[in-house]
Amino acid sequence: MSARKARASMAAAALVAIASSAAGQSLPRASDGKPDLSGIWQAVNSAAWNILPHPAEPGVPGGLGVVEGNEIPYTPAAAAKQRDNFANRGKLDPETQCYLPGVPRATYMGLPFQIVQTPAQMLMLYEFDHTVRNVFMNSPHPTGSIQWWMGDSRGRWDGDTLVVDVLHFNDQTWFDRAGNHHSEALHVIERYTLIARDHINYEATIEDPKIFTRQWKMSMPLYRRLDRGMRLLDYECVRFNEALHPEPADAN
Amino acid sequence: MTRQVLRSIFTTAAVAATVAVAAAGQTGSWTPSRLADGQPDIRGHWISDAVGGAHSVEDGRDPDADVIQGRVDEKNPILIVDPADGRIPYQPAAAARRQQLLRDIFTPTRREHVDPHIRALLDGVPRNNYVPGEMQILQVAGAVVILYESNHSYRVIPLDGPHPPAQVKLWMGDSRGRWEGNTLVVDVTNFNEDTWIDSHGTFHSDALHVVERWTPAGLDRIDYSVTLDDPKVFTRPWKMAFAVNRNRDKNYEIWEDSRHEGERDVDSILSAGRKEKAAGITGVHEHRREGR
What does the pLDDT look like over A3-29, one tens digit per residue?
A: 455 555 555 544 544 444 445 468 999
Each residue's pLDDT tens digit, B139-148: 999 999 999 9
pTM of the model: 0.89
Q: What is the pLDDT of residue B15?
A: 44
Q: Do B109 and A118 touch (CB under 8 A)?
A: no
How many beta carbons lie within 10 A of that of residue A80, not counting itself? Answer: 11
Residue A155 β-bridge partners: A137, A164
pLDDT at B21: 39
Contact across the interface for A116 and B140, Cβ inside 8 Å: yes
Q: To the nearest 10°, the Cα dihedral for B113, B8, A103, A136?
A: 140
Among residues 35-94 of chain A, which lie with CB inside 8 Å of chain B? 38
Instruction: Measure the CA angle with vertex B155, ends B153 and B160; round to 5°.
Output: 170
Which of A130, A136, A146, A225 to mutate to probe the B interface, most B CBs <10 Å? Answer: A130
Strands (E) across B174-290 are located at 174-180, 183-189, 209-218, 221-229, 238-246
**Which ipTM value was assigned to this complex?**
0.88
Give B243's contacts (C-beta < 8 A, 6+ positions apart).
Answer: B19, B48, B49, B217, B221, B222, B223, B224
Does the distance separating the beta carbons of B274 and A130 come in below 8 Å?
no
Chain-chain contact of A252 with B109 (C-beta, under 8 angstroms): yes
For residues B157-168, average pLDDT: 97
User: Is residue B51 very low, low, confident or very high in pLDDT (cuts 50, 70, 90)?
Assistant: confident
- Cα distances (Å, whole numbers) of residue B208 to B144, B188, B232, B237: 22, 8, 8, 10
Q: How many CB atoms lie within 10 A of CB A184?
A: 15
- Among the ranges given (A204-213, B75-84, B148-157), the one the predictor scored with the smallest mean pLDDT: B75-84
If you average pLDDT over every residue of chain B, what do you get? Answer: 88
Helical (H) or strand (E) element with B154: strand B154-158
Per-residue confidence (pLDDT) for residue B27, from 0 to 100? 46
Longest dimension (CA), chain B: 65
pLDDT band at B290 (very low <50, low <70, confident <90, very high): low
Cis peptide before B83 (omega within 30 of 0): yes
Cβ <8 Å between B145 and A150: no
What integer is the mean pLDDT of B126-145? 96
Contact A247 B111 (CB under 8 A): yes
Output Rg (C-alpha) for chain B, integer angstroms.
19
Q: Which of B194, B253, B254, B191 is nearest to B228 (CA)?
A: B191
Interface check for A145 against chain B (CB to CB < 8 A): the answer is no
Distance from the Cα of residue A153 to its chain's centroid: 13
- With a cut of 80, say whether residue B35 has pLDDT above it: yes
DSSP state of A67: B
Q: Cα–Cα distance between A185 and A171 in angstroms, integer? A: 8
Question: Which residue from A99, A132, A234 is facing B147, i.e. has the nearest CB?
Answer: A132
Q: How far is B17 from chain A (nearest CA, A)?
A: 26
User: Which pLDDT does position B61 carry in this prediction?
Assistant: 82
Q: In angstroms, rounded to a whole number, what is the distance separating the alpha carbons of residues B44 and B245?
A: 10
Residue numbers of B between 45 and 74 with CB closer than 8 Å to A: none
Size of interface A-B (CB pairs under 8 A): 86
- Closest residue, chain B, to A133 (C-alpha): B256
pLDDT confidence of residue B242? 95
Interface of B with A in 235-274 (CB under 8 A): 253-256, 258, 260-261, 270, 274
Report the pLDDT value the prediction gives residue B69, as an integer from 0 to 100. Answer: 72
What is the distance between the alpha carbons of residues B292 and B284, in angstroms, rounded to a whole number? 18
Q: How far is CA B72 from the centre of its chain?
A: 21
Checking if the pLDDT of B101 tops 90, the result is yes
Residues of chain A with confidence (pLDDT) below 50: 1-3, 13-14, 16-22, 24, 251-252
The sign of the torsion formed by the CA atoms of A83, A84, A88, A94 equals negative
Tell me what percent of the residues of chain B surpass a pLDDT of 70.
87
Asked if pLDDT for residue B189 goes beyond 90, the answer is: yes
Under 8 Å between Cβ of B94 and B234: yes
pLDDT band at B60 (very low <50, low <70, confident <90, very high): confident
Q: Looking at residue B78, what is its pLDDT?
A: 79
Of A131, A231, A247, the CB nearest to B152: A131
- Please indicate whether, in this complex, the C-beta atoms of B138 and A132 are within 8 angstroms of each other: no
B258:A234 CB<8 A: no
Determine whether the interchain pair A236/B121 forms a contact, defined as Cβ–Cβ distance below 8 Å. Answer: yes
Cβ of residue A213 closer than 8 Å to a chain B Cβ: no
Q: Quickly count: other Cβ atoms within 10 Å of residue A33's Cβ.
A: 10
Residue of A nearest to B160 (CA): A229
Is residue B198 predicted with pLDDT exceeding 70? yes
pLDDT band, residue B1 (cuts 50/70/90): very low
